[in-house]
Structure 1
Amino acid sequence: MNEVIIGVASREQVSARFLQAFETGQPQGARINFETEEQLWKTLTPKRWDILKKMTGAGPMTIREVSRRVGRDVKAVHGDVKALLNAGLLDKTESNKIVFPYDSVHVDFIMKAA
């Protein structure tokens, strides 16, 4: 299964994970990290989560197809897709379609007392 972990990690944690992979040769798995919980929630709004949910395991598609699947206006979905592309959550194919190249998503972060 092609899974991505979306989470919150500091630059130090990301660097440590990179060094571990480099030193051991062991893959660490696909990860998309945000520096703060606020950044994660600002980027992954409920409507954008819905887009990712509908695109998970679905392969490349046009923005019009995504709009149809989520039942929203093409222009509004286009704005959300642009934000997801900028955040590195979606990719664009050579044929100008968009893809979320994962079959499953695992969300991982720890909330500590302030």
Structure 2
Amino acid sequence: MGYKSDRLLERDIPQPPRYLFTTQEDLLDTLTSHRFAILKALAGAGPLDLGELARRVGRDLSEVQADAQRLSTIGLIDKAEGGMLHFPYDAIDIHLGWRAAA
């Protein structure tokens, strides 16, 4: 039996965007606490320039630039005109699941 979202996709019912990590290590390597803070600061804020984003997360501009570049490269945030950074959603839902090894 498929997942509920698979059945909805088959019926062309729009689904919220999702980003999947293949392992928990990939998740934790990608969404460090600093990068997660960037996503939280951008959620619902509209496009922000790098300086304002650095101010909102309370970090050095060059560090925020490096983390924002990584998030942009993997498609979690967008770069808008003029270098503005944008996360076009107002929320982030993270679902984790583990199963005991057989």
Q: What is the TM-score normalised by the length of structure 2?
A: 0.86
Gaps of 5+ in 2: none
Matched, 1:90 2:81: no
Aligned residues: 100
Look up the match of 1:72.
59
User: Gaps (5+ residues) in structure 1?
Assistant: 1-12
Could you say which residue in structure 1 is the equivalent of 2:39? 52
Q: What amino acid maps onto 1:110 in structure 2? A: G
Moved over 2 A (4+): 17-20
User: In proportion to residue count, which structure has more strand?
Assistant: 1
Say whether residues 1:61 and 2:48 are aligned partners.
Answer: yes
RMSD after superposition: 2.1
Which structure has more RCO (C-alpha within 8 Å, separation ≥ 6)? 1
- Structure 2: distance between partners of 1:86 and 1:77: 14
Identity of aligned residues (%): 41
Match of 2:96 in 1: 109
Larger radius of gyration: 2
With normalisation by structure 1, the TM-score equals 0.78
Supply the distance in 1 between the matched residues of 2:58 and 2:85 (Cα, whole angstroms): 17
